[in-house]
Structure 1
């Protein structure tokens, strides 16, 4: 198979993986002047039934693509929320107003399927190919194009983007000796259920050896997640709903009601792994890695998808058509490796803190969090500032939004 560049003078990029990071990169590259094809192994883009929190940093990246305001319109909650202890005591209360004052915007929680649909609509109609098995054959050089094999046929490309997730075959092809992601020590459950009969404030609860989060979606449903310190590879013999009931049904309301309302088939369980040994760069030849392929992280800061979105926008900035690709990819790595490595490590530290099992240490932790919150309403938020304050290198395409210009 020959590259479409034989009929089109624009440089040609192949994105391997049609997740959030891959789609974002494809849109950003397309808007900057690349011809793009996204190769996705799944027959259809049906994201897992879970939510994703889009923080102010990724919203600014989406502003570059003209999508930020559409995402903000999906915000389901503009009131309060915060962090609670296992018994229900509020340790920290936050608000959308406080987050907006601190960062220029608040967290927007959306269903992953909603975000993917929004991204797909921003792509050219012929850019996405599903049900395609793709592998990197040759990363290319300054003088020779990269080669991707898709369903047994070779495609030449000026740029390849590896967005194929935590088990990235592209990463393994580029850096075969690099250690694979390792188990964080905890597993995660995710579920979406109908809204309980009564209202409640969004919250994340830190208990003994685990975390529970409950957040409303725009469509009226509830996205909930839980984590617990367990051996790797485990599954409950009587089902994950029974496991959640054993672990969390004695926690504060509305957690028991949410578990009770879940259908067993709607509960997802996955061991959480991360790149405990970071890559020193995210490119080789004509190939760049983004998202979990480059820097898989624990979900404790809710930044995995956010950083993938940042990656896609920053990559497009550095590899503009007509520029020196080798220099651009080096610039991409220089921009992204320090930031994402720091966030991977910060997420790991947060995971150790919110999965404590010692009752005395938990009591001390909770008192320190509550004391910090009493010192100032925005003090806890400011600990997130180095992440949420990020600005993209490009000017936003979303003309004139006050948020984008902050």
Structure 2
């Protein structure tokens, strides 16, 4: 076995996996259909588990140099009242690392810069052909030409073609009834705190970024509301400051619109013969538990599992180890993310009032709920690669 791997997708999952495997002596080629580094997504928060994964592949310090640390957070009502507020220093005390925020593009650049020159091939369209077996290598088509490798890694996102080829009978994705708008705008003159604001079937999160910028993400349940790709202004424009100012500073060309989807049910395997899935290709879920951080975990655990594989049997044993570790964790967090979203996006006035009053009066969000949910998301230890 020559220990060669072809990766479909140069997002966070694909690039992190490439960095991790390249460091273990694998020959890597990454194929990305976009003409350049992916810029979608705006800002991103890296939680302690994500930072541990980045440290494990040697990129942690580069990310810290590009990021800002989040020291406080909370939840507000549309009028501005704090429903719950919490300092975030307990996160560093509890997990040994802080939450870092940076533009998603800066994270992607840090990962790409850690790869040997020429590893990533842009403007390349990948199609699955054959998963290989003990006697034959895996085959994909890249811009119509067939190429072989010992391992093919599907990091081709939520609508993964490699996942569909691996699980042709799976029902696939379903819409959640929610849409989102994401944008990065200038932060000058604004008073900013990392926080979410919860309304009736609506929520908006604010994430301060380095370089005088701020990321916001607005989510809306469709219901009977009139929503479109034009922007969130009509739904959120009368909320508390600085939300109207953020919306005014956004432009359509820099606004990313998504319809939130998730798998109907988890797939029953992340690998088939010589093809394996990572990141959103393996476990697309609603955006409530830091799926990018889970993708970084995937990269580290896959590299650990196959780092020393020299034969078909060793490769299969490694992929089975990866699968058995990652599927239970990502399945649990997918379910948790779904319920967190439903709680935050309640639309009944009675349910919203009960939710907000319960949090405010009981104070349980910053302590019991916040810390339990944070434990579920963040408590992860990277294996020693190599």
TM-score (norm 1): 0.89
SS in 2 for 1:214: strand
Q: Quick one: which of 258, 261, 268 aligns to 2:249?
A: 261
Residue equivalent to 1:69: 61
Corresponding residue for residue 289 of structure 1: 277
Q: Secondary structure at the match of 1:295?
A: coil
* Gaps in structure 1 of 5+ consecutive residues: 1-8, 398-406
Correspondence 1:300 to 2:284: no
Instruction: Tell me the distance in 1 between the aligned counterparts of 2:107 and 2:189.
Output: 27
1:126 aligns with 2:114: no
Q: 1:77: how far off? A: 4.2
Q: Classify 1:144/1:317 alpha carbon distance in 2 versus 1 (closer, same or farther; 3 Å).
A: same
Cα distance in 2 for residues equivalent to 1:376 and 1:201 = 16
Look up the SS of the partner of 1:300 in the other structure. Answer: coil
Could you say which residue in structure 2 is the equivalent of 1:344? 334
Q: 59-68 vs 84-93, which deviates more?
A: 84-93
Q: In the alignment, which residue of structure 2 is the partner of 1:270?
A: 258
Question: Any idea what the Cα deviations from partners look like across 1:298-330, whole Å, max 9, x if unmatched?
Answer: 0122x1111111111111111123350111111
1:21 aligns with 13
1:87 CA displacement = 1.7
Given candidates 360, 384, 387, the residue that maps to 2:377 is 387
Matches within 5 A, 1:146-225: 146-225=138-217
| Contact persistence 2:42–2:182 (CA under 8 A) | yes
Provide the secondary structure at the position in 1 that maps to 2:66: coil
Change (3 A) 1:163 1:387: same
The alpha carbon displacement at 1:389 in A equals: 1.4
Q: Which of 292, 295, 299 in structure 2 is aligned with 1:312?
A: 299
- Indicate how the Cα distance of structure 1 residues 309 and 207 shifts in structure 2: closer, same or farther if over 3 A, else same: same
1:373 equivalenced with 2:360 (yes/no): no
> Do 1:74 and 1:108's aligned partners in 2 also have CA atoms closer than 8 Å?
no
Q: What residue is the counterpart of 1:331 in the other structure?
A: 321
Partner SS for 2:380: coil
Q: Which runs of 5+ in 2 are unaligned?
A: none
Task: Note if contact 1:188-1:228 (Cα within 8 Å) is conserved in structure 2.
Answer: yes
1:12 aligns with 2:4: yes
Equivalent residue number for residue 401 of structure 1:
none
Quickly say closer, same or farther: Cα 1:26–1:258, change in 2 above 3 A.
same
CA distance in 2, matches of 1:149, 1:109: 37
**Matches of 1:367 and 1:101, distance apart in 2:** 29
- How far did 1:99 drift? 1.5
Distance 1:121 1:296 in 2: 26
CA contact (8 A) 2:69 2:99 kept: no
1:103 Cα deviation from its structure 2 partner: 2.0
Q: How big is the shift at 1:292?
A: 1.0
Alignment equivalent of 2:221, drawn from 200, 217, 229: 229
Question: Contact between 1:372 and 1:380, CA under 8 Å: does it hold in 2?
Answer: no
> Offset at 1:53?
1.3
TM-score, structure 2 normalization: 0.94
Q: Deviations over 1:19-75 (max 9, x none)?
A: 110001111111112110001111111311511111111111111011112222333
Per the alignment, residue 84 of structure 1 pairs with: 76
Counterpart contact for 2:70–2:100, Cα < 8 Å: no
Distance 1:88 1:315 in 2: 44
- Using the TM superposition, name which of 257-266 and 66-75 deviates more: 66-75
Check whether the contact 1:171–1:293 (CA below 8 A) recurs between aligned residues. Answer: yes
Tell whether the 8 Å contact from 1:86 to 1:208 is kept in structure 2 after alignment: no
For 1:166 and 1:327, how far apart are their aligned partners in 2?
26
After TM superposition, give the deviation of residue 215 of structure 1 in Å. 1.4
Q: Shift of the alpha carbon at 1:273?
A: 0.3
Cα contact 2:192–2:208 (8 A) shared by 1: no
